[in-house]
């Protein structure tokens, strides 16, 4: 039986890189999507089962071409890890430029939709039909940090996308779940270890987890048998100020 296949977006660094490498280690075929080909090649470590697909997830045509390439080479897509995202520096809403707000939503919402749309179409058409989509949410999809209106709005939207995909995919054997991550040691969250504003206005360092913990969690979600799904999974440091935040 041929190896299972997964598409990982945002695979050039951080959580995406750790996840792509873990799946390759476990014998999966992994298509790595990201904007920088050199970073994707570094993530893949010249692995024979890796496919490098430079792609801007906000570009509909580029996304369709990338997913077509996966199908042309491997014949099916078993899993999509919809991971690509971006953030802004913390600030109050009146100091955030509308264009910056739109840019965060473009990657974190429109990009998630475009990749889910591309995966859904191919999972629906392939034989045997079906697959799994795992969206990267955030602790911010439950509770915001101060000064993060764009990122918080985007991650709440991702939760809506996850729920809609779960419902719409039922008839086609397409399951969708979401992993909500708190303070993983990736480029986007490293500042938490140095000190970040709390709801009471103080600045405090927060506990962190290694990205390998997140990758292990994604592998667990992706490896469930057909008909089973982790709808929402939250992985975070045990002492992170999430429960009781505010």
Distance between CA 138 and CA 44 in Å, rounded? 25
Catalytic residue among 82, 151, 161, 180: 151
**3-class DSSP assignment, residue 179:** strand
| Sign of the alpha-carbon torsion through 84, 89, 91, 95 | negative
Asked if 151 is an active-site residue, the reply is yes
Distance between CA 148 and CA 196 in Å, rounded? 12
Tokens representing 219? Answer: 């592998």
**Please, are residues 139 and 123 in contact by the beta-carbon 8 Å criterion?**
no
Neighbours of 209 (CB within 10 A): 18
Point out the residues that are catalytic: 151
């Amino acid at each position: 039986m041929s190896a299972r296949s997964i598409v990982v977006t945002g695979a050039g660094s951080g959580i995406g890189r750790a996840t792509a490498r873990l799946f390759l280690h476990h014998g999966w075929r992994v298509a790595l999507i990201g904007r920088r080909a050199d970073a994707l090649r570094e993530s893949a470590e010249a692995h024979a089962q890796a496919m490098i697909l430079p792609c801007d997830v906000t570009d509909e045509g580029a996304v369709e071409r990338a997913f077509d390439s996966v199908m042309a080479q491997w014949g099916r897509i078993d899993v999509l890890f919809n991971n690509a995202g971006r953030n802004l520096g913390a600030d109050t809403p009146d100091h955030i430029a509308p264009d910056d707000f739109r840019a965060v939503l473009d990657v974190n919402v429109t990009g998630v939709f475009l990749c889910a749309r591309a995966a859904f179409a191919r999972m629906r058409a392939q034989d045997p039909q079906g697959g799994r989509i795992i969206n990267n949410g955030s602790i911010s999809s439950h509770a915001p940090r101060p000064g993060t209106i764009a990122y918080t709005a985007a991650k709440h939207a991702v939760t809506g996308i996850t729920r809609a995909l779960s419902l719409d995919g039922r008839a086609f054997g397409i399951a969708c779940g979401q992993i909500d991550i708190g303070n993983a040691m990736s480029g986007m969250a490293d500042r938490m270890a140095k000190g970040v504003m709390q709801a009471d206005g103080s600045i405090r360092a927060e506990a962190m987890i290694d990205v390998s913990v997140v990758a292990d969690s994604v592998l667990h979600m992706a490896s469930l048998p057909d008909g089973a799904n982790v709808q929402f999974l939250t992985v975070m440091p045990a002492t992170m100020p999430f429960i009781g935040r505010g």
